[in-house]
Amino acid sequence: MSLALIVILPFLGAALPALLIRAGRNACTTGTLATSLLAFLLLLTHAPAVLRGEVLQARWEWIPQLGLNVNFFLDGLGFFFAGLILGIGLLIIVYARFYLSKEDPMGSFYSYLLLFQGAMVGVVLSDNILLLVIFWELTSLSSFLLIGYWKHLPAGRQGARMALTVTGAGGLAMIAGMLILGNIAGSYDLSTILQHKEAIQASPLYLPALLLILGGCFTKSAQFPFHFWLPHAMAAPTPVSAYLHSATMVKAGLFLMARLWPVLAGTDEWFYLVASTGLVTMLIGAWIALFKDDLKGLLAYSTVSHLGLVTFLLGLGSPLAAVAAVFHILNHATFKAALFMNAGIVDHETGTRDIRKLGGLMTLMPIAGTLATIAAASMAGLPLLNGFLSKEMMLEQAAHTSWLDLPWLVPLLATLAATFSVAYSFRYIVHVYFGKPAGETPRQPHDPPFGMWGPPALLVVLVVLIGLFPASVAGPLVATVAGAVIGGPLPDYHLAIWHGLTPALGMSAIAVASGLLLLAGYARLRGLWSAGPHPEAKAIFDAVVGTAVRLAQALTHGLHNGSLQRHLAFAIGSAVVVGFTAFAMASHAPGARPLLPATPVAIVAWLLLLGATGALLALHRRRLLSLVVVGVIGMVVSLAFVYLSAPDLALTQISVEVVTVILMLLALNFLPKETPLESSGGRRLRDGLLAALAGIGVGGAAWAMTTRDAATLSGYYLEQSVPGGGGTNVVNVILVDFRGFDTFGEIIVLGIAALTIYALLDGATRGAVGRRLAAWAPDQARAADRHPLLLVVATRVMLPLALLVGAFIFLRGHNVPGGGFIAGLVVAIALIMQYMASGHGWAAQRMKVDYHALIGVGVLTAAATGIVAWLADHPFLTSAFGHFHLPLVGEFELASAMAFDTGVFLTVIGAVMLALANLSRIGNLADASPPQTGPMEPVPANARAEEH
């Protein structure tokens, strides 16, 4: 449980800053700090077990059918990264308190930070790759909020979009790779996948899975050619840059490569893909960093270079290289977070990050200058600092690596990258803190308060301690983490300052000397850089995105031009092509099931159906006649259901037909009586051809099914209807029990449809549309007697009887034809007749029911039935039934499905009546005839006298 709590705490605590900011900035910071500190302390309680080599696990089933479970595990690698995320996060929280101005919404910042922190901890502790993918995408979303925190800056918005686009696209690729990997291993649990190295690497799907997973890793960790998003993310506040680019987001890709190293590494594909990408990234990032004038830009490209260094080491595939990679991740997190915070200090205290405007700050900012000098020297790889140790290990591995039988190429490029690293590191030191001041800065430089220099100072202390005492300070942790990465015995290695005269030491000396020479001739080198070509990644990205948007718009406008006919033609045409293609590619044999003889009644009904359908095609432009013919078709279908012994379906069909025809008549009242001729002859020919082909296909499929014996669920439903659902009406039991969840979804859709009709028609009674309706004149003469007395009397007399029939159908539905849906339609028809006979005004005065509320009560009643089943420890909507005895009444049955059917009943009535009431209200508004006295009410004597 404590493992899950470590992940959950930042998410739970994300609400605190937004609430505590009202109590002040200190209270907001304290609440945020307490959340991260508690998670960090919980993590540290597991340190003894992890350092002993134990693996802690916590497992909960979530969606086991999909293999998605909430599984966490804590080994050396997860402990290491979680420690970096939470530990450096604590320092960033303190630093941000003093960095952010009073105008910055600190509560939002800390909330975003905790959301991101929780997502990162979830990534490194997940033992299920599907769960890991969820947290992975959460890191992209939450980092988008952090990078775009200063949303008033165009650069911030652009950087956030760029980061989300690149890392999001990589995440989609990674999802596919993870699914393939889980499919190969037969499990989505990481702890299981890590035990199937041979099966994974022997699978023909190994390379596709590797490419897709590396796509996610490379985009997240800003590897070439996806490196460009990271420098543009520097538009974020410096605490964000220090956090995301030293210990968290960009390290996620490195973590995943390290996590999957035991099963993916060791092949030629891994070596050439990963090591080559890392080496190129290390070289290009270091070269570009040398010429960046923005402090954060320089550090961003240096981060790209160091991420490439770690990727290169992981790509070598040797255990010793994996140890070096782990060690450099630790060292890079310490000196790079310190340097980012130092860049923020310079910007905060001088008002600029432009190196060309800085210089000589050591005398004005001695504390910040000292910390920056030590951290930058570690980044350069100078002796007695931690960066030197892991750089030497990298150069040692490079010295013994051959690429395509070229043993000199990798050592040369690694040394060149180290040279550039020395040059840009010393440029940071010399051009900012030493030398002559370049000019006046916007603010008078001075050292910041302790809250800003304390966090980087702690990291610089670690830089020095690890550099001086690597075996004792970092040795046990590195060994534990490397053991988790390698998944086997550790190689023989020693973390020490001096390893003798080795090729790596010579390469390092060359790099330092060459880097200093480059810095000495920087002005001339800068001139050569300026004269050369500089492909601008942002411009390329914008061009690619712009092209993609234009293509998408052209495709969208070409396909989705608002023509329903075109959409239907595409959909039906695609179905026809797919269906006939499958038919042509398969073998066929005639069905062996004998046909039933057609009775004269069936033949007559079939001919009537064909005739009505043909009449509909011929008369489709005359809307009223078309509606009548549609009603005829519905009635024939209802008779067919009766003929085929499906009385429930027949009752439903008849009720739906009546309601539909009445509502459509009300709607057609405000539309032209004929549909204009819009389709050309060619289009009608196309539509007719598609209709014929689709009809042949559907008819053929129906013929194939009815002439063949096939196993269906009908036997199960028939057998289990009484013992499982307590009802003899199998159709109703299916609707409210076996497939109650489907019915629940359908009544929700029905309610949404009614509310949509209400929303559309409600606006028609106001504004310009309402005024047009009020001035609308019918295009045909109206009957003088709008509410015939005979119809009024008949409907009012029949109302109690119709309600009684509805109640009867509702109560009997579980055992004989009926049920809540049919009963709701019957009651709705009875109420509709009152509106038709007596008018909207008369009916609305007497119907005090809020139809919106009726829909809501119906849906909630159905939902409550399912929730009660949950409380009884059964699946949602599981029904129960029993037999009871009452005096005089006798024995009777009660089923919980009746409550669900009640919800269906209420929702149907509410939906139908809501649509009707609004159509009637529109009719009243549009009625241009003078007001008339309502039916069945006395007319004033003076009015009668005036009539005579």
How far is it, in rounded angstroms, from Cα 115 to Cα 108? 11
Taking a C-beta distance cutoff of 8 angstroms, is the pair 11, 35 a contact?
no
**Contacts of range 637-642, beta carbons closer than 8 Å, 24 or more positions apart:** 637/609, 639/605, 640/605, 640/609
Nearest one of 211, 12, 225 to 114, comparing CA atoms: 12
| Res 926: pLDDT | 54
How far is it, in rounded angstroms, from Cα 159 to Cα 244? 13
Nearest one of 286, 289, 295, 291 to 343, comparing CA atoms: 295
Quick one: tokens of 380?
């350069």
**Where would I find the H helices in 400-521?**
409-433, 450-468, 470-473, 475-486, 503-520
Cβ partners under 8 Å of residue 293, min gap 6:
354, 355, 356
- What is the maximum span of the chain, computed from C-alpha positions, in angstroms? 127
How far is it, in rounded angstroms, from Cα 656 to Cα 663? 11
Cβ partners under 8 Å of residue 922, min gap 6:
670, 761, 764, 765, 773
How far is it, in rounded angstroms, from Cα 72 to Cα 1? 10
Taking a C-beta distance cutoff of 8 angstroms, is the pair 485, 326 a contact?
yes
Quick one: tokens of 792?
């009024």
CA atoms within 13 A on the CB side of 313: 30
Instruction: Give 128's DSSP letter.
Output: B
How far is it, in rounded angstroms, from Cα 215 to Cα 230? 16
Per the document, the length of the chain is 948
Residue 406 has φ and ψ, to the nearest 5°, of -115, 90
- Burial-class residue 465 by CB neighbours within 10 Å (0-12, 13-18, 19+): middle
Dihedral sign (CA 803, 804, 807, 808)? negative
Mean pLDDT by runs of 10 across the 948 residues of the chain is: 86 90 89 93 92 87 81 92 93 92 88 93 92 92 89 84 89 93 90 90 92 93 86 85 82 92 91 93 92 90 93 92 93 92 90 87 91 93 91 90 86 93 92 81 85 92 93 90 88 83 88 91 82 73 86 84 79 89 83 83 89 86 86 89 86 87 79 75 83 89 83 83 83 84 89 86 71 68 73 86 89 84 88 80 78 90 87 80 75 80 90 82 56 38 36
Residue at 761: amino acid letter: L
How far is it, in rounded angstroms, from Cα 52 to Cα 824? 68
CA atoms within 13 A on the CB side of 377: 14
pTM for this entry: 0.70
The radius of gyration of the chain from alpha carbons, rounded to an integer in Å, stands at 38
How far is it, in rounded angstroms, from Cα 680 to Cα 317? 67
Q: Can you tell me whether residue 687 is helix, strand or coil?
A: helix
